[in-house]
Structure 1
Amino acid sequence: MKKEYLLTCMVLILLWGSAAAYAGNDILIPYPHQTLICLVQLFAEPVLYVSVFRTLLRVIAGTALSLVTALAVSLLCNESVRFRNYIEPVLSLAKTIPNISYIIIALVWLGSEGAVTAVIFMILFPMFVNGFLNTLDDEPLSLRQAEAVYAETFAARLRMKLIPQLIPEMLRTGKTALSMGFKVGVMAEILGSAGAGIGRQLAYSRITLNTAGIFAWTIIMILITQCIDHLFDKMLDKLTEEETGWKS
């Protein structure tokens, strides 16, 4: 797998270099070595770490807010069919709204700083709710019938069954949601001219026609996304190992 991955990267770099040579204009397509130099310079500057920290802070805040709210709404939907009938049309509507509309609306309502977290919340909330509800709906009928006979308090069911049942889905959906939230958050930073952040640096590179800088910041975004995916994969693998050990 690693050999194939490295081979693919090498082929892409060769194609990139060929395209840069054909264009003959580093404003259109910079050479790979120009981007590498810019990337190395970024790692030596404090602006990289400040920008990444501020962007991740906004993304994590929006993701955590959407996760907690979606968890509460999903549990209410699981307890009340009437409440679920009211909330499902809202979720269906939310999924049809383009991301750019969320960004523009949030910028009008909240300004540049508050918009990023709000946009991430609005986009990820339906994703979490749908994932949680699908997990809760997959519960076997026999278990539901047993619960009806041996009634327990909601607090007991929440602690003993519902939360453990939803943890794997939190990680699976969280992996996709956090990566998506990161990309959407950077887009909102660019459009909203937010303070320090990756989006601001990308916008500045565009204004100064520093295409190598745009490529370098894009590579940083790819690395961060890969780290997020790797972290969640590790947590899912650990959870699977614990479940396997418990069953055996």
Structure 2
Amino acid sequence: MPTSGSSSPTRNTRCSPDLVPKRAGATSRLVTLIPPDERQDAAMAHLLSDHETMKYLKFMMRPNGYTVEHASWRRRARDEGQLRKELVNYTIVIKKSQLPSELVGKIHADEYLAPETVPVDNGVIEIDEPYLVVGCCGMSEIDASNHCAKAGIIVDSRFWRHKVSSAALYLTLKFGFETLNMHRIALETTENNLGMRGWMENVVGVKVECVRKEVLYTEGIGYQDSWDFAVFDHQWFGGLEKKLRVRLSQ
């Protein structure tokens, strides 16, 4: 079963589109990443329509929210992108036993999906108890020639400040640097997303590279700036991986 690992990462310089899997997954103490499928569409439609969850990503919202059909179309389009070796898509899930103590009793029973065995390219991921879909993450704009990609994440607002985002991004960056052998992975956010900006600046330890003015448009709101960050392989292998891993273990 794919895991997050606990030893120092191994560095490789080879980068090829062939390294992009058809179905990727990873596990850790806090979260599990699995490939998207139709069983998750209803939960993803709810997340993508939730104003609190999407408060910093309003440029991605639909005016009247997402239906299950919209979520299904989005999933299939992203699956096609992964087959073209342009994307890596994950659904972020947590098992019932991983639920933060503060949220016990606050999750509706019908939100849980049944246990299952999830096939991935290098084996299977066993989800041996009911689990929740709490977000999505992955990489896009994968450029094997220049060893660059962009990472992104959406997490159910109920799970903010519970290390879910940090754990999912750790696994995403780990895969990007250690399996895809990326040199640079970009992360983009907006000025008012102080949580993401703070994580990048205070935890990862990188400063904003640039602010691209008025590149994100939201109907009824107008244009927003994009605050662009990046993480590099020399940072990851030079101590960042261990720093994040230790932080997540505490």
Q: Same fold (TM over 0.5)?
A: no
Higher relative contact order (CA 8 A, sep 6+): 1
Q: What's the TM-score, normalizing by structure 2?
A: 0.27
- Structure with higher Rg: it is 1
Q: Which has the higher helix share?
A: 1
